[in-house]
Structure 1
Amino acid sequence: MSTTTTGEEPMAQAAARLRTSGMRVTAQRMAMLMAISESAGHLDADALRERAQRVTGSLSLQAAYNVLRALTDAGLVRCTQIPGHPARYETDHHDNHHHFVCRRCGAIRDVECTVGAAPCLEAHLPAEYDIQEAAVTFWGLCPDCRAATPAS
């Protein structure tokens, strides 16, 4: 049984996360952080804006992008850029995971690091380079789309 009976607890949690990150607490930031935390997938800015508006009322798309940029810069949110798709956002767990993208339906799924510790891959660069992350995208068909594909 959930202990949350109103929307106040998630808002309080969002406010605490913002404060811990040294960010100013605003209704827009709390609402957007809640929208990301409560989403089960990798949502784009417009989908997150629609969810955040349930709390804030009005929220322009530009304001949503500004909030998302601030949350990303603060390390609370991870922005994933997948070619051919709008930027997607998720809670940043600092786990350096990768993504699988279905070529047919566009579904995105997290994939654990392929090998070892972050950044997961060894780049052959001179020692002067400071590699901090590897972004790997696997492409193919999700189980539903694969099942719907006639055998050739």
Structure 2
Amino acid sequence: MLRDAGLRVTDSRVAVVGALALMPHSGADAVVAAVESTLPSTSRQAVYNVLNDLTRAGLARRIEPAGQPGLYELRVGDNHHHIVCQRCGAVADVDCVTGHAPCLTPNTTNGFDLAEAEVTFWGICGDCKNAPATPV
């Protein structure tokens, strides 16, 4: 995957890809913690650099739900969307809403050729919905 994208295969890149494969929709801090557990000598900056490299190469996608730090995932190229829990911040994938990419058709494109649409749905996840109410 890395070679196909023109990137050198390094221990830190392999570790970051592995972390994202196990933990989709993770913030950089969670990826750093996962990488440090397998490669303790890897610096925080190295992980940030790898995340940027992967994103630029189209191997990873950065999403930015309102009120949350950027989250990374390896699922790219299929124009899927996300649903975010308003209580706990959990994020899940939602396949294309209707039709083919960009899955939404605006009233006007203002001369743009559309490539994709980014939609974030908000709601309450099943775990939070089923959790007992906590007193305020």
TM-score by length of 1: 0.79
Question: 1:34 aligned to 2:9?
Answer: no
**Structure of greater relative contact order (alpha carbons < 8 Å, 6+ residues apart):** 2
Question: 1:129 aligned to 2:102?
Answer: no
Contact kept? 1:31, 1:53, Cα under 8 Å: no
CA-atom RMSD, angstroms?
1.6
CA distance, structure 2, for counterparts of residue 135 and residue 38 of structure 1: 23
Q: Which residue of the partner structure matches residue 111 of structure 1?
A: 94
Contact kept? 1:113, 1:120, Cα under 8 Å: yes
Q: Which residue of the partner structure matches residue 9 of structure 1?
A: none
Contact kept? 1:102, 1:141, Cα under 8 Å: yes
For these two proteins, the number of residue pairs brought into alignment is 132
Long gaps (5+) in structure 1: 1-16
Whose helix proportion is higher, 1 or 2?
1
Structure 1 stretches of 4+ moved >4 Å:
none
TM-score by length of 2: 0.88
TM-fit CA distance, 1:149: 6.9
CA distance, structure 2, for counterparts of residue 142 and residue 35 of structure 1: 23
Q: Secondary structure at the match of 2:29?
A: helix
Q: Which residue of the partner structure matches residue 25 of structure 1?
A: 9
